[in-house]
Chain A
C-alpha cells in the first residue's frame, strides 16, 4: 500500500527529553552542534504539534468547553442555572457564562488551526499527497477565519412601533449603533391558522435617508431583506398600548392620546408623566400609571377605566387608597376613555463581512469530503492493515 500515505507515520520520540545530554559548561557562543540540537528539538516539537494525537486532545478539550457552554446559560452573567441571582462577580475570562467568546475556546481554536496547518505542511512534503484531505482541512480553516472575521460585523436588534421610525440598533454588548439611515415600520400583521397557531408575521418597512423615502421592503420569518449592506430579519414582535385620556376641570375638557414616557399638562401647574399602561391590571381592566408633579411634590396615581364599577364593588378601598381614585386628590377629573393596541416589530440587523469566506470554506469542506469518501484508493489505504500504531495497540487487544 504505497499509493497514498495518509497514516500517521509512527512517532516514537517524545517531544522533549529524548536528547538529554550531560550538562556542559555554558558557552556564550553557540557552536554548530548547538544549533543542530536546537533545530532538531524545534523539528521534533513541530512534529509533535502536528500529530493526530494533539488533534484528538484538542477536539476533546473543545468538546468539554462546549458542554460547559450549554449547561450554563450563555450571556446571563448574573444568574446561575436555577435562575437565582448571584452577587459574586466572576471575571469574564473565567466565567462559565461566556464560554463561546472566552480566551479558552479561542486559544483552542487557534491551536487546532496551527495543528492543521502544520499537518498540512507535513503532508505537502510527501511525494504522494492527498489533495482531498488538504482541501478539507483548508475548508475548515476558511470557516474558522470567516467566523473570526464575522466578529467585526454588526449584530443588533431594533424594536419599531407601528408608524414610528428608528435609526439606532441595540448591539449585543448593550451599546447603540447609529445606522446612518432610519427605518419606519409602516405596518405589522400576524396571521393565524384556524386553530389559533401563528401562521405568518409580516412587517412592511420603509427606509428613510435624511427623512427622504429611499426604499421599501417586506420582512417575514425566513424572508429577510437587504439594504445598504445590512440584512434585516423578522425576529420577534410585541405589543404595547396607547391610552386615550380626557381631563375635565369645570367646564373645560381636554383629550390626550398617550404612550409610556409621554408628559402631559393636566391642569395649570400640574404635569403628569405616563409611566405604564396595562390592558388588564389586577383583573380590574385597563389602567394607566402616572407620576404627577404639582406644587406639593410628586405623587404616583393609577387611573382605571372601570372606576365607576370598582367604586360600587369596593367602596371602602378608595377611601384608604386615594391614589387609585385620583378624583379624590385633585380638583380635576382624569378619565381613561380606552386603549389602542400598538404592534411593535422586533427586527434583527446584521452585517457579516466573513460570511462568504465561511460559506466557501463549508462548500470546500463538503465537496472534498465527498471526493475523499468516493476515492477507492483512500478507502483502501485507510482500511489496509498497515496502520501506524497497530503494533502498539495490539498489546491491549482482547482476542
Chain B
C-alpha cells in the first residue's frame, strides 16, 4: 500500500465525516457526536501515517528527504496541520471545525490527489532545497498559515453569532489562534531569511513569495493591533482577518503565477 492510497483513504474518511455531520444536523441526533470525533481522530492518525510512509518511501528510493518538498507534499502537510488545530479546538467548539476546517482539509487533499496539474511523484531534492532548514522552514510556515486560517474562520463565525455566548472563551480562542499563527509565521519568515542568507547570500530579497509573506505578516500585525485598539473582535478586526486569509491564499497559490525563486511550492 502506498502513501498515496492512504491519503485517498483519509479523504474518504473526512468526506464520510462531513456527510454524517450533515445527517446529524438534519436529524438532530446527539448520538453521532462521539462517532464524528472518533472518525476525525482516526482520519488524522491515518493522515499522519500517510506522511510518514511517504517519508519512508523516499528513503527506499535512495534519496530520502522529508516529504515537504513540492506542492503535493505541502498540500498534504497543510491539511494535516489544519486537522491538527481542528482537533485542538474540538473541545471548545464542535460545529466550526467539523463544518469548515475538515471540509477545507478534504478539498485540499482531494485537489492534491486528483488534480492533473500536480506532480505526485517522489522526486529527489534539487540543490537549492538540500538544507537542514527545509523541514523547519516549511513546517513553521504552514503551521502559521493553518493557525491564521482557523483564526480568520473563527472570526467569521464569531461575527455571525454562530458561537456560544461565552464571550471571553471565544475571544480567547481567536486571540490564541492569531498569536500562535503569528509566532509560527514569524519563525517561518526568520528561518526563511536565515536560509536565504545561506543559499542566496541575502536574508531579504523582495522575491514575490517573500514579499507576500511580509504582506500576510503585516496584515495579521494590523489584526492584532486593531484587536488591542478595539478591545475585542470588532467588525474591523474580522474584516482585516479576511484580508489576511486572502493574502495567505495568494502567498501559497497565487505567487506561483509570478516569477520568483520559490517556484517549487
What residues of chain A have their CB less than 8 Å away from a CB belonging to chain B? 6-8, 52-53, 55-56, 59-60, 62-63, 66-67, 69-71, 73-74, 100, 147, 155, 193, 195, 197-201, 220-224, 231, 233, 235, 348-350, 352, 355, 358-359, 362, 365-366, 369-370, 373, 379, 382-383, 385-390, 393, 396-399
Which residues of chain B are within 8 angstroms of A63 by Cβ–Cβ distance? 215, 218-219
Which residues of chain B are within 8 angstroms of A397 by Cβ–Cβ distance? 234-235
**Contact residues on B (Cβ < 8 Å of other chain), bracket:** 35 or more
Q: CA of A147 to CA of B205 in the docked complex: distance in angstroms?
A: 11
Instruction: Identify 12 new A-B residue pairs, CB closer than 8 A, beyond the known A224-B198, A369-B183.
Output: A52-B229, A56-B229, A66-B218, A70-B212, A70-B255, A100-B206, A222-B130, A350-B202, A385-B231, A393-B235, A393-B236, A397-B235
Contact of A147 among B168, B204, B258 (CB under 8 A): B204
Sort A-B residue pairs by CB-CB distance and give the 10 closest, nearest first.
A387-B231, A221-B127, A350-B201, A390-B231, A233-B201, A52-B229, A393-B234, A59-B222, A100-B206, A70-B208
Which residues of chain B are within 8 angstroms of A386 by Cβ–Cβ distance? 231
Least CB distance from A80 to B in Å reads: 14
Given the known inter-chain contacts A59-B219, A66-B215, A382-B227, please indicate yes or no for A221 contacting B130, CB distance below 8 A: yes
Contact of A220 among B127, B212, B226 (CB under 8 A): B127
Which residues of chain B are within 8 angstroms of A369 by Cβ–Cβ distance? 182-183, 186
Q: CA of A6 to CA of B128 in the docked complex: distance in angstroms?
A: 43
B203 at the interface (CB under 8 A from A): yes
Q: Could you say which of B17-25, B43-51, B101-109, B171-179 contacts chain A?
A: B171-179
B199 at the interface (CB under 8 A from A): yes
| Per-position binary interface string of chain B over residues 108-136, scored 1 when its CB falls under 8 Å from any chain A CB and 0 otherwise | 00000000000000011011101100000
B228 at the interface (CB under 8 A from A): yes
Q: Would you call A366 and B127 a contact (CB within 8 A)?
A: no
Interface SS of chain B: helix
* 24 cross-chain CB contacts under 8 A: A7-B229, A52-B228, A55-B222, A56-B225, A56-B226, A59-B219, A63-B215, A66-B218, A70-B255, A73-B259, A155-B201, A197-B124, A198-B127, A221-B199, A222-B198, A223-B198, A235-B200, A350-B201, A379-B172, A382-B175, A382-B228, A388-B228, A388-B230, A393-B230
Given the known inter-chain contacts A53-B229, A362-B193, please indicate yes or no for A370 contacting B258, CB distance below 8 A: no
Q: CA of A274 to CA of B17 in the docked complex: distance in angstroms?
A: 71
